[in-house]
Amino acid sequence: MSKQSLIKKLGIKYPIIQSPMAGVSTIEMSSSITNKGGLGSIPLSTINFIRQDSIRKLNDIIDKYKSQLNDTQRVNIVNLNFFCHDIVSGPNTKQTENWKNLYNTTINSQDNFEVKELINDIEFQNGNVSFKEFEQNKDQFQILLDYLVSINPKIISFHFGIPLKQTIEFLQKHEIMIFITATSLAEVIKLLEYGIDGIILQGSEAGGHRGNFLSSDYQDEYLTTKALFLKTKEYFKTRSIEKIPYLVPSGGIMNTDTINWYLNQGADAVQLGTIFLSTPESTTSTFFNNYNPLESDTIMTNLISGKNARCINTKFITTLTNNYYEKQENLPGYGYSYYGYKKLKTQIDPALEDIGFYLCGLNHFQIKQGKTTNEIMDELIKDLKY
Ligand SMILES: Cc1cc2nc3c(=O)[nH]c(=O)nc-3n(C[C@H](O)[C@H](O)[C@H](O)COP(=O)(O)O)c2cc1C
């Protein structure tokens, strides 16, 4: 029996999912996309669900989303997104020292600005607590699960890794679909063991953090979205698979023709992020409406957060990269490096020229400056064949 189409299952009109974009997408963006007939996503990676007040925070977000929907009954038409990386321990003295030297050298050489004291004062904390850590905190975790079940979102998605099988099964039992990012066929095959509902096939063109969880950054093949999608399809064709997950290519998709190509090749939906970066509903719209796309390149770097991410290669990132590769010294892990960078940025901005970290995909030069999320959705769905 062929399975129900994903859009039917989601109760949406168009197979377009907005990328959850932590710190960048807003509730205004998510609700506009759902109102237009796509699926809005809400990133939750910045909330620490070990904290008592976290559920109230989440509830405020959901209330806001609901209030902006044309039909407030449709609050469950949403994808809630978590980061599920391996738990990282805090930096040792050497890593802390290396990070402080690297950032001090970079900022001083770039702007001739004295930040040594600010940098010295930074005490590293974990800026991005993993879903795996929430799972270990049993009582508080059950409160989160119960809350999620009460919202009953159509999708809960995970980036950077896989939650416990019992978590997946609990949520699925309550009619919530589980989607997880894969960046290689090996990760797709691993995900099949968990009986999840859908896979976000993230190619290396994608903006933002790369969701690789099996290969290290230096062993990564960096498959493109198309190669990953076709390789996965080939694998599915030649193996007998008990539960075929929905496939959602993501990375570098910027127009209807490309969406139609993926749908025509059997994708169930696509997930798009970069195309929305210049809209008023993005927190980085000022940058993306004023930069020169043809004079800007992207780079994949783990020097800001501790994990690979594609971003605009600004003067700051170029200097940071050059300084790092002169010595290649060990830095704090994910979450801790990111915390240090964010702390520094809030303390010294706007005194410095620009130490922004502009997450963005390879095809950013196709961004349509000056358009709203609604206008972009209108263009995408106009000639959509699905
Ligand atoms: C600014 C930005 C932030 C992102 N943050 C997240 C996130 O919080 N969670 C997630 O699963 N993916 C995140 N991603 C990756 C997207 O899910 C998706 O893979 C990517 O947007 C697809 O490529 P595109 O940007 O070329 O459309 C982010 C992407 C961008 C551009």
Distance 239 CA to ligand 1 centre (A): 30
- 209 is annotated as an active-site residue: yes
Atom of ligand 1 nearest to the CA of 158: 11
How crowded is residue 122: how many other Cβ atoms within 10 Å of its Cβ? 17
Atom in ligand 1 nearest the alpha carbon of residue 22: 8
Please give the pLDDT value at position 349: 66
Tens of pLDDT along the chain (386 residues) come to 467 899 999 999 999 999 999 999 999 999 999 999 999 999 999 999 999 999 999 999 999 999 999 999 999 999 999 999 999 999 999 999 999 999 999 988 776 567 888 899 999 999 999 999 999 999 999 999 999 999 999 999 999 999 999 999 999 999 999 999 999 999 999 999 999 999 999 999 999 999 999 999 999 999 999 999 999 999 999 999 999 999 999 999 999 999 999 999 999 999 999 999 999 999 999 999 999 999 999 999 999 999 999 999 999 999 999 999 999 999 999 999 999 999 999 888 666 668 999 999 999 999 999 999 999 999 999 999 98
The one catalytic residue in 85, 159, 174, 209 is 209
- Residues contacting residue 25 through CB under 8 Å, at least 6 positions apart: 18, 19, 41, 42, 43, 273, 276, 281, 282, 283
Instruction: Report the topology of domain 6-86+127-282+371-382.
Output: TIM Barrel (3.20.20)
Nearest CA to ligand 1 atom 16: 19
- Ligand 1 centroid to Cα of residue 361, in Å, is 8
Query: Considering only CA atoms, which residue is closest to atom 15 of ligand 1?
Result: 208
Ligand 1 centre to CA of 184 (Å) is 17
Ligand 1, pocket residues at CB < 6 Å: 19-22, 24, 43, 45, 81, 159, 181, 202, 205-209, 250-253, 271-274, 359-361, 363
Å from CA of 140 to ligand 1 middle: 28
Indicate the pTM of the whole model.
0.97
Which one, of 337, 342, 333, 271, lies nearest residue 85 by Cα?
Answer: 333
Q: Where are the alpha helices (DSSP H) in the chain?
A: 6-10, 27-35, 54-67, 93-111, 116-121, 131-136, 138-151, 165-173, 185-192, 225-238, 256-264, 285-290, 315-327, 336-348, 373-382
Q: Which of 16, 18, 21, 376 for a ligand 1 pocket mutation test, highest count of atoms within 8 Å of Cβ?
A: 21
Hey, is 53 helix, strand or coil? coil
Give the Cα-Cα-Cα angle 44, 354, 351 (nearest 5 degrees).
Answer: 105
> What's the CA gap between 309 and 211, in Å, rounded?
9
Which residue's CA is the closest to the ligand 1 atom numbered 14?
Answer: 208
Q: Of the residues 16, 17, 19, 128, which should be mutated to test ligand 1's pocket, given the most ligand atoms within 8 Å of the CB? A: 19
